[in-house]
A = this chain, B = another copy of it.
């Protein structure tokens, strides 16, 4: 078990609250991903869990106000409070990543780029990656571009399943998890596999709340868990921060 001296660890800042349960899930996964012998070796994390951020799907669809300025303000606040690098525990909100980056002078680590890189690093030979993501995230092409840069193609939900997905998402955020929601999410993942996906990315932080790797016949990459594992490496300076050039 290799880890740096605890006092040398970088402090992580988390732009969260979208939804708040997904942020708690990310924090629990970060703890699980951190090898320690005593509590003090865990990472210091500053979190702004702000569920008041305007709806990302509506903003991207043009029917709601942009969350960009508020997300930028949260990011700047986390930097002021002492964070050394930032992540955001919401895939769809990465549409507003450039608003965040211009507001800060510390690295921002993208959940989407990290998941896309892990598809190559951890799943050699796979070409077609299924996406369980929101309609807005899919329409933005965020994952498709990141996967394309790695020579991978995306398999996305059809229009009807996208609407079903959005319904599940709102149900999780309103009522929490349930067996019915698990069954419905599994069916969406299976539809991606039937359409040719050789693996599936849980590309929305609510998905892993109701879908486990054991539910699927193909590998499932939980973008939240993957981000947590990467954060430990960045905080302990075991991996250099990714270049920003990939934006846009």
Q: Which residues of A are at the interface with B, using a C-beta cutoff of 8 A?
A: 6-7, 17-21, 23-25, 27-28, 30-32, 36-55, 77, 80-82, 173-174, 176
Contact = CB atoms under 8 A, between A and B. Distances in A.
Given A20-B45, A23-B27, A42-B52, 14 more contacts: A17-B45, A19-B39, A19-B42, A20-B27, A21-B31, A24-B25, A24-B27, A32-B176, A44-B51, A45-B49, A45-B50, A46-B48, A46-B49, A47-B49
A187 to B, nearest CB: 24
A78 B17 CA distance: 17
A44 B27 contact: no
A174 B38 contact: yes
Identical chains bound together, number: 2
Contact of A173 (B39, B53, B54, B173): B39
A85 B38 CA distance: 30
Contact of A51 (B41, B80, B173): B41
A206 B7 CA distance: 24
B82 A37 contact: no
B44 A47 contact: no
A71 to B, nearest CB: 13
B39 A50 contact: no
B18 A39 contact: yes
A54 B6 CA distance: 12
Nearest to A54: B40
A22 B82 CA distance: 22
